[in-house]
Structures are given as structure tokens and as C-alpha cells.
Amino acid sequence: MHSFGYRANALLTFAVTILAFICAIASFSDNFSNQTPSAQIQILSSLVILNINWFQKQPHGNDEVFAFVAAEYETSKNSLNQVSLWDAIIPEKEEANFWIQISNKYRFIDQGHNLRGKDFNLTLHWHVMPKTGKMFADKIVMSGYRLPNANMEVKARAPGKIILAGEHAVVHGSTAVAAAIDLYTYVTLRLPLHSDENNDRLTLQLKDLSLEFTWSVSRLKEGIAYDSSNRQRSSSPLGSLPSSGYTPASLGEKIIHGKPSGIDNTVSAYGNIIKFCSGEITRLKSNMPLRMLITNTKVGRNTKALVSGVSERAVRHPEAMNSVFNAVDSISKEVAAIIQTKDDISVTEKEESVKELMEMNQGLLESMGVSHSSIDTVIQTTLKHKLTSKLTGAGGTVVEKVVEELESSGFQCFTASIGGKGAEICF
Ligand SMILES: C[C@@](O)(CCO)CC(=O)[O-]
């Protein structure tokens, strides 16, 4: 008679043997599974186009494909170094045949000093992970990539802007109309490839002005993080620039204006002609030709002081200043409506109306205490030529005469088209 322990041992051994036998058969059956997955990948500048055209999901299994793209390179110490740039899990057959356009998910960082001027491969790996059985792995290697030998450069440009109506009052909630102009500021950013070269300093050299500023990168990052978390609008309202470009611009505005309305950085970042009121932006589609003569009176100004001067006047005379702000609001709304109108009104009539509204706006700016005697000179000069109404639209010799006279008074003139592109970045 066998003891209980002896019987239990025999049963366990039998169960384990059967289990091992089933596993061996399952594993052997992998040899009959004919897997021929294929994939394509194309790298277009910062875009990856990926097309995995194979997926095999068992009726009740949960196979999935894990795909990742890595930059791979060789060093004297290791024959294979990988920097993962992108990955994804493809859970369903229906999702396995796809085209995607992405920028890298993970940052391409040189951990040592290995990548400058070196060749590397971009490799797409994919792993098919069945519920049971052998994991299948394959890859496509794309060779011929090289990181630059010198520091990386990023170029950006942002347009200047003009406010057609509503400056200053916009800070107090009135509507304003502004446009990007085709005069740009260009910036080239050089990023050191080696981390030890990045000594936490960002240096800005304004070569035209012979000025140089330096900031601590970590302090700037803190400022940007703070501003992003406090900003109500998180995405680009006009769709031309990532919101990350908007944030530093709005930080700069705070430095220059103290309490900015946000109109300057918005129009410079996103371009076009916009109607702006308390952070709400409406893009205007102009139905009239708009070219502007811009005169630089060369009178230095302190925007912060002017903006706070208007606020102080509003505290001293709240009712009167409210009426001024309301009048500016109506003027801006009317300017916006004229610019957009498709009615059968001649361009001259539209220009006459815009001219009149601008004159009224100028008067209100004077009542806010922000005008200057040099602006009166500009107005008198243009009025003398009875050309004020033409300055928005007309070009040619008549404008040249006005420019000549204004420049002889020591001013600097520019003609500009308005409503163009916003800030652009080129890697
Ligand atoms: C004076 C102001 O209205 C415009 C300056 O370009 C200030 C602001 O809106 O932030």
C-alpha cells in the first residue's frame, strides 16, 4: 500500500511531465508558423513615416507588436550603442498597417562625446510578442546619417507688427486691431553638442546694436515653466506656431511692458491681421489692399512707464477714462469691420473711413497722455500733402515725396505690407 506522500509525489511528477511535454509541442509548433512581416520607414527631415504591413493576431490570443526606432552607432568600447528615439505598441491587427508622421518622441542626446561628426544608423526594430511561443524580432537598418561636426544651429525669424487701432486701451480690455508686417527680426541659436560646453548660459548677441546679454538657462526654464502653468490659453490660436514659441515671446513682453495685453507677442508669433480683446483673438481676412508707411520718430520710449501712466490716469479719472476706452473699443471694431467688409464700397471710401477712425484714435491716445510732439510733426507733414488717406494704400512717387520730407525732419521711414506670416523656426 503506497503512502499518501508517495501518491502525491507521483501525481505531481506526472502533471509536470505532461506540462513540459505540452510546452515542448507548443514551442516546436513555432517552426510551422511562417511569419513574413515587413516594414518600411522613411526619414524626412524631422519626420518619420512608418508602415508596418504585417500583424498576426490569434483568434483568442493577445499578440502585439512592439516597434521602436533607435539611432545606433559604434564606439571603441561598445560595438552597439542605441539611443531610442521613438517607440509604440501596436495592439491590434487593424492598427498594424499605418502611416505616421512624427518627430522623435525621446530626445537625441549624446551621452558622451561620441556622436559629433560621426556616422550613425537609424534602425526600426519590431518585436512580435505572441501569448505563447517564440518572440519574433526583425529590423530595418537605414545607414548614412551623420550628426554635424560643429555646433547645431536653429534659425528663427519673427515679424514686426503695427497696431492699426486700440493700443494702450487694449491693456484695459478694449478691442484692438494689429497686423504683422514684412519686416523681420532674425535670430540664430547655436546649440553646443557637448554637454560640458553648455555651461548653463544663454548668450544673446545683437550684432546690429552691438549689445550682448547673458542669462542662466535653468532660470529661464523656471520662468517658462511658471508662465506655461499660469497661461490660460495653452494652444496656438491661429495654428502656425507651437505654443512653446508663444511662451518666451509673452515673457519678453512682460519685461518690456510690465503689464502687457498680449497683443504684440500674439501677432508677431502667429502673423496675419487680428482683432484682439482680453486675450481673445479673431483672425481678420482683409478685403482691401493694405500697405503702410511706418515712420520711426527716433524718440526713445519707455513702454512700461507709458502703460503704467495710462493706468494711473484711469485710477485718477475712472469715468472719463472708461469713456475713452469704450470709444477706442468702438473704433477698433469699426476698423476691423471695414477691413473685412465685402460690400460694394470702393477702396478709396474704405481708406477714407480707416483714415478718419485712425485720426480719432490718435486724439484719444493724446487724451490718454501717450502722444508726443514728434507725432504731431508726422501728422502735419502728411496732412500738408493731403496724402494721409493714401498712405495706407498708395505707393509710388507721392509717398516718396512724403518720405523725403519726413526723413529731412530726422525721422526714419519704412513701407510695409501687412498681414503676413508669423514667427518661423528652421532647424
Ligand atoms: C501699448 C501697448 O498697448 C502696445 C504696445 O505695442 C501695450 C500692450 O498692449 O501690451
- Burial degree of 342 (CB within 10 A; 0-12, 13-18, 19+): exposed
pLDDT for res 94:
67
- The candidate with the shortest Cα–Cα distance to 106, out of 92, 127, 121, 85, is 85
Q: What is the distance in A from the centroid of ligand 1 to the CA of 338?
A: 22
Nearest protein CA to atom 10 of ligand 1, as residue: 260
Dihedral sign, Cα of residue 287, residue 246, residue 307, residue 412 = negative
pLDDT for res 423:
80
pLDDT for res 49:
53
Q: Pocket of ligand 1, candidates 162, 170, 332: which has the most ligand atoms within 8 Å of its Cβ, to mutate? A: 170
Beta strand 152-165 pairing with 424-426: antiparallel
Lowest mean pLDDT among 24-38, 113-127, 219-233: 219-233
DSSP summary character for residue 292: E
Q: Pocket of ligand 1, candidates 168, 266, 296: which has the most ligand atoms within 8 Å of its Cβ, to mutate? A: 168
Bigger pLDDT: 45 or 162? 162
What's the average model confidence in pLDDT over 247-276?
83
Alpha carbon distance 220, 251 (integer Å) = 10
Residues with CB under 6 A from ligand 1: 163, 167-168, 170-171, 257, 260-261, 263-264, 303, 307
Q: Which atom of ligand 1 is nearest to the CA of 370?
A: 1
Residues 6+ apart with CB under 8 A from 237: 266, 270, 281
Q: Where are the alpha helices (DSSP H) in 231-317?
A: 243-257, 263-270, 303-316
Q: Does residue 194 carry a pLDDT above 50?
A: yes
- The candidate with the shortest Cα–Cα distance to 371, out of 353, 357, 359, is 359
Q: Pocket of ligand 1, candidates 161, 167, 306: which has the most ligand atoms within 8 Å of its Cβ, to mutate? A: 167
Q: How many angstroms separate the Cα of 211 from the Cα of each of 57, 135, 378?
A: 63, 61, 30
Nearest protein CA to atom 1 of ligand 1, as residue: 168
pLDDT for res 177:
95
Q: What is the distance in A from the centroid of ligand 1 to the CA of 38?
A: 57
User: For residue 387, what is its C-alpha cell?
Assistant: 496724402
Percent of the chain surpassing pLDDT 90: 22
Alpha carbon distance 138, 85 (integer Å) = 17
Lowest mean pLDDT among 116-120, 127-131, 270-274, 413-417: 127-131
Q: What is the distance in A from the centroid of ligand 1 to the CA of 298?
A: 18
Q: How many CA atoms does the CB half-sphere of 369 hold within 13 Å?
A: 13
Q: What is the distance in A from the centroid of ligand 1 to the CA of 260?
A: 6
Q: Which atom of ligand 1 is nearest to the CA of 163?
A: 6
Alpha carbon distance 81, 92 (integer Å) = 31
Alpha carbon distance 200, 91 (integer Å) = 42
Q: Does residue 31 carry a pLDDT above 50?
A: yes
Q: What is the distance in A from the centroid of ligand 1 to the CA of 324?
A: 16
ipTM above 0.95, yes or no: yes
- The candidate with the shortest Cα–Cα distance to 234, out of 247, 221, 224, is 247
Helix H or strand E segment including 211? strand 211-216
User: For residue 303, what is its C-alpha cell?
Assistant: 513702454
pTM for the whole thing? Answer: 0.60
Q: Would you name the residues annotated as active-site residues?
A: 264
- The candidate with the shortest Cα–Cα distance to 387, out of 372, 371, 398, 374, is 398
Dihedral sign, Cα of residue 331, residue 333, residue 334, residue 336 = positive
What's the average model confidence in pLDDT over 415-419?
85
pLDDT for res 98:
64
